[in-house]
Structure 1
């Protein structure tokens, strides 16, 4: 596959059936939920946010030959040390047989371009420390600032 044949674009409402298997695959990859999928109402809420002009949430897909190979979701939010919004790349997933072929890189680059056009000077994300395959790409397209994430579900 060459970069010229890969298309990255914003999702449309008609993309739901093609997007859903990748969304489910992403959630399984990170072990977010048991053998069943994420509750349908959460998936539907997430999907609807991509089309709500009041939500700062966006989604792109990568396609090749009519097949959806990857997805990326990103969110803009305020920051205390920058004037413009910053962009959190929340979810990135590619189908297994397309990994290492530039799909993830193309999705990240599309987020970078959207962020720049949206007056955002920073894109950041997290990944699990065991996601070594993805980190090879991330080390090539971004810097690792050394911060450790802490969280507590409340």
Structure 2
């Protein structure tokens, strides 16, 4: 299957919605249509930091999504990219869609002078971690959250 990486456009909303809802279910996150409306609005606005790519198969069907944003790295006085969300339709996993989405974000980062692309995943997301281990270096850093 050939994969093409594109920017989300209004005509992709229903397919993006289907995938993003599935992504939330995968991580057992309660998500409403209103929440998806807000994220879609961010992706469509040039004034928002959150950006995205979609993976389309050779028929034009959207089979994957990735959301990312820039972040500052004060200690090194540089900027990097943070991959917030990555999801590929379970029916096409192993097709190269995830790798193509990560490559597109990496290309975007290079063009913007970023020094790193960073992301997190759940410890038990073994299939994704196997792909990530081929594409990137696992760091020694732990993540902490304070719920507000």
Q: Same fold (TM over 0.5)?
A: yes
Residue matched to 1:152: 146
1:6-49: per-residue Cα shift (whole Å, max 9, x none)? 1011111221011100000000000012xxxx122221111111
Which structure 2 residue ranges, 5 or more long, are not aligned? none
The reply to whether residue 57 of structure 1 matches residue 54 of structure 2 is: no
Q: Which runs of 4+ in 1 moved over 4 A?
A: none
Alignment of 1:63-74 (within 5 A): 63-64=56-57, 65-74=59-68
Distance in 2 of aligned mates of 1:122 and 1:19: 26
Residue matched to 2:20: 23
Q: What is the total number of aligned residue pairs between the two structures?
A: 147
Distance in 1 of aligned mates of 2:15 and 2:32: 18
Normalized against structure 1, the TM-score is what?
0.91
Distance in 1 of aligned mates of 2:146 and 2:78: 28
Normalized against structure 2, the TM-score is what?
0.95
Residue matched to 1:108: 102
Residue matched to 2:3: 6
Which structure 1 residue ranges, 5 or more long, are not aligned? none
TM-superposed CA distance for 1:78, in Å, is 1.4
